[in-house]
């Protein structure tokens, strides 16, 4: 029985991932800064689900959580770096501490998770990392500056480690959803969400994470997986369109009505 460790798994996309993988017979680690909510989900799932405390910005907590989980599960097969936060609105209207917190959780959290997990992944019979990136990593998004920047960083980490860790037989992949129906996008102050809409569910993203976990390791296995039709179109166009066209399209997407 393979195992999966998910950060930020107490609610939203993380909870949907935990639920789906548990249904598919995996041992599931539900780790979150909200320990009570994580424990509640683990109890709902039952056997082969374990909850634990994890502040992803704290490297020592990562080490403790992964050691605890691996001792329980037997080995660590899949790491999902899901934990993330979002602040929206004009860049200057968001206090600098909030921008820094976005970096601490969305970027440092992924760096911490990958770095702390490598010793466990290297000894596993099968090992894979799946990061939660975003359509915001296709082109910088106004009113979501630090969030968009953080997801560009996740995209870069994914690409670099997918090449670097080939020597260990570890694929590092990501999923790139547009806006998802979770608490994170409620009351967002960004024109792009009004213009693009919210059409994806947490279950939609979880299904694509599962496909990433099951994907064969070949030269043709894409490092990035856009989630949803709109993201696929934007991702495809960005790779072939001139830069000024990409900028213009994002100006239109971000235009306030």
CA 175/CA 166 separation, integer angstroms: 19
- Closest by Cα among 156, 225, 228, 147 to 185: 147
**DSSP per residue over 79-117, as a string?**
EEE-------S-GGGS-HHHHHHHIIIIIHHHHHHHHHH
3-state secondary structure of 18: helix
Neighbours of 36 (CB within 10 A): 10
| Catalytic hit among 26, 31, 87, 147 | 147
Residue 168 token pair = 């260990």
Q: Are 213 and 173 in contact (CB under 8 A)?
A: no
Active site residue 147: yes
Residues that are catalytic: 147
């Amino acid at each position: 029985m393979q195992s999966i460790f998910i950060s930020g798994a107490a609610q939203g996309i993380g909870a949907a991932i935990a639920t789906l993988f548990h249904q598919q017979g995996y041992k599931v680690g539900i780790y979150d800064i909200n320990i009570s909510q994580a424990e509640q989900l683990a109890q709902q799932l039952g056997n082969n689900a374990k909850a634990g405390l994890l502040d992803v910005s704290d490297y020592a907590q990562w080490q403790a959580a992964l050691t605890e989980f691996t001792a329980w599960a037997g080995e660590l097969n899949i790491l999902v770096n899901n934990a993330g936060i979002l602040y929206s609105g004009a860049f200057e209207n968001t206090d600098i501490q909030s921008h820094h917190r976005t970096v601490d959780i969305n970027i440092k959290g992924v760096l911490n998770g990958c770095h702390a997990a490598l010793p466990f992944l290297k000894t596993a019979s099968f090992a894979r990392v799946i990061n939660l990136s975003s359509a915001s990593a296709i082109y910088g998004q106004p009113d979501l500056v630090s969030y968009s920047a953080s997801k560009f960083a996740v995209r870069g980490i994914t690409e670099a480690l997918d090449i670097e860790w080939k020597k260990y037989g570890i694929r590092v992949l990501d999923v790139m959803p547009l806006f998802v129906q979770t608490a994170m996008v409620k009351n967002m102050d960004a024109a792009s969400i009004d213009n693009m809409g919210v059409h994806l569910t947490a279950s939609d993203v979880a299904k694509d994470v599962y496909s990433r976990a099951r994907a064969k390791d070949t030269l043709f296995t894409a490092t990035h997986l856009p989630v949803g039709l709109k993201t696929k179109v934007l991702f495809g166009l960005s790779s072939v369109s001139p830069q000024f066209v990409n900028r213009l399209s994002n100006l239109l997407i971000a235009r306030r009505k």
